[in-house]
Amino acid sequence: MEEKGKTFWELILSKSSDRTYRASAPGGWLVKYYFTAGKDSASAMAFVADEAGQWEVSETYDWEKIQNNKNPNNANKTFRLEVPEGWLVRDGYKARDRCLDLHMVFVPDPEHSWKL
C-alpha cells in the first residue's frame, strides 16, 4: 500500500510530449515510458535488473536516438537508454492516421559494450 503523499512512480525523464518513470521492484526496477501527441497516447513498460540498487539518475540522463525512419505517411523511431546491467530499447511507430504503437525491452549488456 502506498504511503500518503508518496507515489509509486518516480519521474526520471521529461520532455514536452513524453515522460519516463521508474519504480522500485524486487531485484530491480520497473520502467514505464509514456508518450502523448494531441489525442494520441501510448505507453510501454520493462523490467531492469539491479540487484545492487546502483541505478543513479542524473540531470544529463537521456534517451539516445539510434534509428529514425520518417516519410509523409508514418514515422518509426528507436531509442536506447543506458541502465544498470544493460540498455532499455524502445521503438515507436506513428501513422498519419494517428495510429500509435510502442514497445520497450531490456537488453543485457553489463559492460555497456554495445557500440552503434
What is the structure's pLDDT at 1? 46
Give pLDDT tens digits for 65-100.
999 988 888 888 999 999 999 999 999 888 776 667
Place of cell 544498470: 84
Question: Which residue has 522500485 as its cell numbers?
Answer: 24
Q: What is the DSSP letter of 87?
A: E
Provide the whole-model pTM: 0.84
What 103-111 contacts at long range (C-beta under 8 Å, 24+ apart), as own/partner pairs, is: 103/44, 104/31, 104/33, 104/44, 104/45, 104/46, 105/46, 106/46, 106/47, 106/48, 106/49, 107/80, 108/49, 109/85, 110/85, 110/86
Is-contact 30 45, C-beta < 8 A?
yes
pLDDT at residue 97, as a whole number: 66
Q: Do residues 67 and 59 lie in contact, with contact meaning Cβ atoms separated by under 8 Å?
A: no
| Model confidence pLDDT, tens digit, residues 15-49 | 878 899 999 999 999 999 998 877 778 899 999 99
Domain boundaries, the chain: 10-52+59-108
In the chain, % of residues over pLDDT 70: 92
